[in-house]
Amino acid sequence: MSYFDAASAAPLHPVARQALLAALDEGWADPSRLYREGRRARLLLDAAREAAAEAVGCRPDELVFTSSGTRAAHTGVEGALAGRRRIGRHLIVSAVEHSSVLHSAEVFESAGGTVTRVPVSRAGAVTPEAYRDALRPDTALACLQSANHEVGTVQPVPEVAAVCRAAGVPLLVDAAQSVGWGPVAGDWSVLTASAHKWGGPSGVGLLVVRKGVRFAPQGPADERESGRAAGFENIPAVVAAAASLRAVREEAAREAVRLGELTQRIRVRVPDLVPDVEVVGDPDRRLPGIVTFSCLYVDGEALLHELDRSGFSVSSGSSCTSSTLTPSHVLKAMGVLSEGNVRVSLPPGTPAEEVDRFLSVLPGAVAAVREKLGAPSPRTAAGEDALVVDALGKRCPIPVIELAKVIGDVPVGGTVRVLADDEAARLDIPAWCEMRGQEYGGEEPAEGGRAYLVRRLV
């Protein structure tokens, strides 16, 4: 079985396993106690903090360990906003942030704050100018991920940090996907990360708050971790997280080149091997191990199951995965195709032979799913000047498949109105038009859903 979902959770690094087992025997006591066992646990915790701080590029007393990367993000957003409550109640986030940041923004908004969501390009990147335009006198905090978790696009953090610094606004950076590859550049103020993304154990997050940043931890007071992360420290896991971060950093330069070449091979070969595919994300400014593509006329969940049967573990941002019936917020913000979405994220050490095997299996897997769904073959017949496709009650990618089947039945210049009540149609029909060279005419209310207008150009 080939595991290609490292962006969700990287396999436990061998160094992490060794450190975890050793620390279980030495780091079980309360590090706040003065007896021998407590002092030994404190030494382990302090050493782990120093190692993690060195890797991040901060002072040890600026870094605390939390129970997860999500907890770090929630604490970071809440604490930074509370620390600057006298400045104002305005928060800036990008439209493609991780859900942990976006959920924090929603809570802040429901409590009376205002949130500006900065749009991204079709490649998934923000611009420093967009953040500059979003800044206001009452802006308390801005947030920007270092790299996107779904498509791998690297964000211009140093430039955005400079814009925010000039305005006196702290920038929180979610570095979960990138910190294993290197420190985050730029004059950021708060940083969060998650150990299971770089091969450490789950249940360990990092929260860094630079000196001088106004920060007010929320919730009941707790004396541990500078009052920013309540609860007894999981010292064995923390030690393993720090040890594995140092180890992956030592391997990062070599693996970045190798995995970058493998993902580039996928980016180039997939459109040649599989028709009607859109490779998404920035082609150049991207993380080494992530490549994402979407296949027309394919149910994302069905394709993932097909690949799983062939021995490949991949993930999807498709609107038709088992966890959601709505499109990925990242793909939606980018305006790209969401149906049949596949994210391949290669863990360090992935053999090139396994990537080649994936490329040999993928065309058959896509073809099998398309055949089951009755995907269209090319048609040139012309008929009525206007047709209506009733896809109400049908989920992705069926509305697009039905559209594709009949577009050839109208003459050039003729129109097709697609009736659909699946939210994914709002994203996938315009994306299909762009991929197939047809004109998208917009949407309008219709009984039971929405009507999407498509004009045939070719």
- 168 Rama class: left (phi>0) / alpha (psi -120 to 50) / beta: left
- Residue whose pair of structure tokens reads 């500059």 in the numeric block: 132
CA-CA distance, 387 to 432, in Å (whole number)?
Answer: 17
| Residue 173: closest CA among 133, 122, 136, 126 | 126
User: Helices 300-309 and 352-373 meet at what angle, rounded to 10?
Assistant: 130
CA-CA distance, 23 to 354, in Å (whole number)?
Answer: 34
User: Helices 235-273 and 36-56 meet at what angle, rounded to 10?
Assistant: 30
- Backbone torsions φ then ψ of 130, nearest 5 degrees: -65, -40
Q: Are 346 and 6 a contacting pair, CB within 8 Å?
A: yes
Q: Are 50 and 246 a contacting pair, CB within 8 Å?
A: no
Structure tokens at 278: 């859109």
- Backbone torsions φ then ψ of 141, nearest 5 degrees: -160, 145
- 3-class DSSP state of 348: coil
Among 143, 295, 320, 433, the active-site one is 320
CB-based contacts of 360, cutoff 8 Å, min separation 6: none
Residues linked to residue 312 through DSSP beta bridges, in sequence order = 2
Verify whether residue 320 is a known catalytic residue: yes
Q: Are 145 and 126 a contacting pair, CB within 8 Å?
A: no
CA-CA distance, 316 to 5, in Å (whole number)?
Answer: 10
Residues linked to residue 66 through DSSP beta bridges, in sequence order = 205
CA-CA distance, 330 to 379, in Å (whole number)?
Answer: 33
CB-based contacts of 130, cutoff 8 Å, min separation 6: 118, 119
Q: Are 96 and 241 a contacting pair, CB within 8 Å?
A: no
For 116-170, the DSSP string reads: EEE---TTS---HHHHHHH--TTEEEEEEESB-TTT-BBP-HHHHHHHHHHTT--
Q: 234 vs 22, 76, 111, 194, 359, CA distance in Å? A: 14, 20, 32, 14, 41
Q: Which residues belong to the active site?
A: 320
